Amino acid sequence: MLLAVDVGNTVISLGIYDQKELRAEWHVSADRRKTSDQYGLLFMSLLEHQGFQVSDVHAVAISSSVPPLVPTLEWMCQKYFHLKPLVIGPGVRTGVVIRYDNPREVGPDRIVIAAAAFEKYGGPAVVVDFGTATIFDAISAKGEYLGGIIAPGVAISVEALFQHAAKLPRIELVKPPSVLARNTVHSMQSGVIFGFAGQVDALVERLVEQLGGPEAGVKVVATGDMAEVLASETRSIQAVDPYLSLEGLRIIYERQRPKGEH
């Protein structure tokens, strides 16, 4: 089985694959202070809780937006799984051509998502990833990574309101009863949910025009923590795929193996 590990700035997503089947997935906090032993024991306990053994894992693939965590996780894999992980980065056959001014600036998480989006939905495509930042990725009809947009994330925007406006409370990120709110909590929820939905539609519309316009048949896919909440409030998002990064890791891992090997 393959253990796919996608490291974000705030959350680590893990999935265990039996060939193409995602058998289980987990989300844990990304903490740079944790040691390789702490991560090793945590990953082992998650696997065992779902009925898997460490020996069931025959390969590990890692994508990380947090470079300092990479050596920690590499050492963890070697010590607890007795495996050298595949770390997405330069020299790895991803199958994604990068059309960026400086390809090394493109995070591994963007490449993983581009690989999965093109494999599953074809191109051209736009992926909206609701994470620590809200990131829009543009993929060409040939599967090339063309670039994208980085905007503030939903959660950090709400936290900024709480931290810098003395009378505003922390709120639950759910849809309010109406866009026209009559109390502070609903007012904040309206601004966040409907405001971010409007931002998504406006930016996707501009990206679609650059990808050939509506007649090009651009697919728009959402992923990330807030995808389910926000997608239904947009006009532009056509599909929600919460496991896109894990799927991308599986796909890229498969591309490293000799043809015909299973």
Residues that are catalytic: 109
DSSP state of 98: B
* Residue among 105, 127, 198, 195 at smallest CA distance from 158: 195
Instruction: State the alpha helices, DSSP H only, in the chain.
Output: 36-49, 69-76, 108-121, 154-164, 184-210, 227-231, 244-256
Do 53 and 3 meet the contact criterion of CB atoms below 8 Å apart? no
In 3D space, the residue among 162, 137, 156 whose CA is nearest the CA of residue 147 turns out to be 137
Torsion of CA 225, 138, 70, 132, to 10 degrees: -30
